[in-house]
Amino acid sequence: MRVLIVESRLELRKLWVRHLERQGYAVTQACCQDDAVAHLSKEMADIIVLDLVLEQGSALAVADFASYRQPDARVIFVTDTTFFSDGSIFNHASNACAFLPAGTPPEDLAAMVAHYGHH
């Protein structure tokens, strides 16, 4: 399974990449909207783990581009804010399949990737 992680914080991104690679996933990482869009323009992703608040760019723009370019890709949004804590993210991003706190243990994130990646 091909996973794209879009996360501005290098330490968190590396933690998720290491854990998912140990599970056998092909993982690519991006730090911002431009990197994510460039990747999605050339490569396929089954699952996108996407921080809702990126330092550069818009997570919703990434999700929107993915829904256009790769309609089968599912998005797991993560955040450490209360934005969309009411679940309304599912109204704004048609490809959203989960919404998790950024502090979710990596093994739980991997379980979500496994679950939603085999749709």
Which residues are registered as beta bridge partners of 76?
49, 98
The pair of structure tokens assigned to 79 is 């955040």
Tens of pLDDT, residue by residue over 75-108, are 999 988 766 666 667 778 889 998 898 889 999 9
Q: For position 82, what pLDDT does the model report?
A: 66
Average pLDDT over residues 41-67: 96
pLDDT band at 7 (very low <50, low <70, confident <90, very high): very high
Number of domains composing the chain: 1
Contact indicator for 102, 59 with CB cutoff of 8 Å: no
Q: What is the CATH number of the domain that holds 86?
A: 3.40.50.2300
Tens of pLDDT, residue by residue over 14-24, are 999 999 999 99
Tens of pLDDT, residue by residue over 23-50, are 999 999 999 999 999 999 999 999 999 9
Contacts of 39 (CB under 8 A, 6+ apart): 4, 28, 30, 45
Domain range holding 65? 2-117
Helix (H, G, I), strand (E, B) or coil at 70: coil
